[in-house]
Chain A
Amino acid sequence: MITIREYKKAATLEEAWELNQKRMNRVIGGMLWVKMTKGNVGTVIDLSGLGLDKIEETETEFRIGCMATLRQLEEHPGLAAYSGGAVKEAMRHIVGVQFRNLATVGGSVYGRFGFSDVISVLMVMDAYVEMYKGGIIPLAEFVNMPYDRDILVRIIIKKNKASFSYQTVRISKTDFPVLTCAAAVTDKDVRIAVGARPGKAMLLIDRQQLAGLPVTAAGAQAFAEYAAQVIPTGNTNRGSAQYRTHLIKVLAQRTVLEAGGKAGC
């Protein structure tokens, strides 16, 4: 059970950042995870009054405010078209509609949770996080950075010539995933991100061009087997390391083939 002494709806990002410098204070996104933690919070800092709940699309990028909900990502026609449905597929299995109407992209990405479907799918895209003080950082780098007291303002996805695919294995619908796998096929390379290993999602770029460009069935299999060798997995009550490694082979092959098919290569 969490107790909160004060609630503050920040009027500016600077105010939010200043409040967040105190160790007892905490920024809340959808509050779904924070609610399940224990302890005392001095002031919860609410960013919902800063207009950061929009998804803006330009010719070259998507700019997703940190308070945009997972349901907004799931329903956004531009993101659906650009990702070939991969973003929707990554969101739609997360608990239920009511949960996704609260959960925010900022909370999901800042938390850097191992089970995150959100991070897994964004990681294969040309995605960046914009931190209030820390500037713009590639998502793949941000995921491995230590937690600090900066504020995640938005996610930026650069539009490139690419095709995407996303698949997971879950024991039951709406549960945490046993393994997540996203793939991207661009005009330069093939890449996958594997999450719920159970560690944080890991990006693997096919530098040896095992999958081939254009992707072939044998190439996708070879890359998937390589991925299973080099991506570490672990045991949890949802699955053993051995099972997860086996799933990497299956999901990596399927997602690479699917993304390759969408790319027409």
Chain B
Amino acid sequence: MLINIVLNGKKITREIEPDLLLIDFVRKEGCFSVKRGCETSNCGLCTVFLNDKPVLSCSLLAARADGQQVTTLEGLQEEAAEFGAFIADQGAEQCGFCNPGFIMNALALFRENPEPGEEEIKEYLAGNLCRCSGYEGQLRGILNFLAWKKDKKRGVSL
């Protein structure tokens, strides 16, 4: 079957099998930030945006994305770079395997709620599993990032 998808801002038309999952579709298109983790729709590693909403690409048929906008981390370079670099500087990640999904969902949170509290962060990111950090580093990193952004907006230099 033929589908049309706007992938990272670029219109593409592809012939696909009806049971092709979106994760396999975007990886075939070179979006290797999207990774397969748990296979049980639990870990958040395969997070992409479908019409700007975070979804699990491992659980969505590519056919269902026909006519819609799909964004991966590759399509959010500018938005992701600032946050990703800050998190790395904070030492908030360890092996980094969960990072693409974690960054995607954190960006989705900032778009919905630019100034989330600690509990709101924990709740929004509950669907992103990390097996080495214990989440404390990531939480600290996000809180520091938000504080830094706030200061930056107010013109405070650090």
List residues of chain A with CB under 8 Å of any chain B CB: 2-7, 9, 28, 30-32, 35-36, 44, 46, 48, 71, 92, 95-99, 101-102, 173-174
Contacts and interface: CB of A to CB of B under 8 A. Distances in A.
A95 B41 contact: yes
B64 interface: yes
A7 B128 contact: no
B133 interface: no
A7 B1 contact: yes
A65 B15 CA distance: 31
Given A46-B64, A174-B127, A98 B19 contact: no
Contacts of B127: 95-99, 174
Interface of B: 1, 18-19, 21, 40-42, 44, 47, 50, 53-56, 58-61, 63-64, 66, 105, 108, 123-128
Nearest to A7: B18
Determine the main DSSP class of B at the interface with A.
mixed
Contact of A97 (B40, B61, B64, B105): B105
Contact of B53 (A9, A95, A96, A101): A101
A4 B18 contact: yes
Contacts of B55: 98, 101-102
A98 B61 contact: no
Nearest to B62: A7
B151 to A, nearest CB: 27
Given A5-B18, A7-B1, A99-B41, A92 B56 contact: no
Query: Of residues A2, A36, A48, which shows the largest number of chain B Cβ atoms within 10 Å of its Cβ?
Result: A36
A31 B59 contact: yes
B56 A102 contact: yes
B59 A92 contact: no
Contacts of A96: 42, 44, 105, 125-128
B19 A99 contact: no
A201 to B, nearest CB: 22
A216 to B, nearest CB: 32
B54 A95 contact: no
Nearest to A95: B127
Contacts of A44: 18, 61
A124 to B, nearest CB: 24
Given A3-B19, A44-B18, A97 B54 contact: yes
A101 B104 CA distance: 14
Contacts of A31: 59-61, 64
Contacts of A102: 55-56, 59-60
Contacts of A174: 42, 126-127
B35 to A, nearest CB: 14
Query: Of residues A3, A6, A32, which shows the largest number of chain B Cβ atoms within 10 Å of its Cβ?
Result: A32
Q: Which 4 pairs, one residue from A and one from B, show the smallest C-beta to C-beta distance?
A: A96-B127, A4-B19, A7-B18, A7-B63
A9 to B, nearest CB: 8
5 contacts: A6-B18, A48-B64, A97-B126, A99-B41, A102-B60
A6 B1 CA distance: 9
B41 A32 contact: yes
A180 B96 CA distance: 35
Nearest to B122: A173
Contacts of A97: 54, 105, 108, 124, 126-127
Contacts of A95: 41-42, 126-127
Given A31-B61, A35-B41, A174-B127, A98 B105 contact: yes
Contacts of A28: 61
A90 B66 CA distance: 31
A91 to B, nearest CB: 11
B129 to A, nearest CB: 8
Contacts of A71: 53
A71 B126 CA distance: 14
A96 B56 CA distance: 10
